[in-house]
Amino acid sequence: MLDKIAVLLAVIGALNWGGIGLFGFDTVAWLFGGQLSVFSRIIYALVGLAGLWCLTLLFRLDRETAAHPA
């Protein structure tokens, strides 16, 4: 369950960064009252932690693949 939440938050973060890169629009800041608001900073922190958690997914998938070759 935690893995799915982390991936969902990472996707939300990726979409937000895509919006910033392509359109100069920060959806999180727009929704939660600016980049420096407490709520925005919490979302940014959660997305960052989710990204770190997703790194562990990569290594776990590598180990599972090595343990069970096709």
What are the structural domain ranges in the chain? 2-67
- Indicate the residue type of 31: L
Whole-number Å distance between alpha carbons of 31 and 70: 45
What pLDDT is attached to residue 60? Answer: 82
Q: How far apart are CA 60 and CA 55, in angstroms?
A: 9
pLDDT at position 62 over 80: no
pLDDT at 69 over 80: no
| Number of neighbours of residue 59 by Cβ within 10 angstroms | 9
Predicted confidence at residue 11, as pLDDT, reads: 95
What are the tens digits of pLDDT across the range 10-50?
Answer: 999 999 999 999 999 999 999 999 989 999 999 999 999 99
C-alpha span between 27 and 15 (Å, rounded) = 9
Measured between alpha carbons, how far is 19 from 39 in angstroms, rounded to an integer? Answer: 19
pTM: 0.77
What's the pLDDT band for 68 if we cut at 50, 70, 90? low
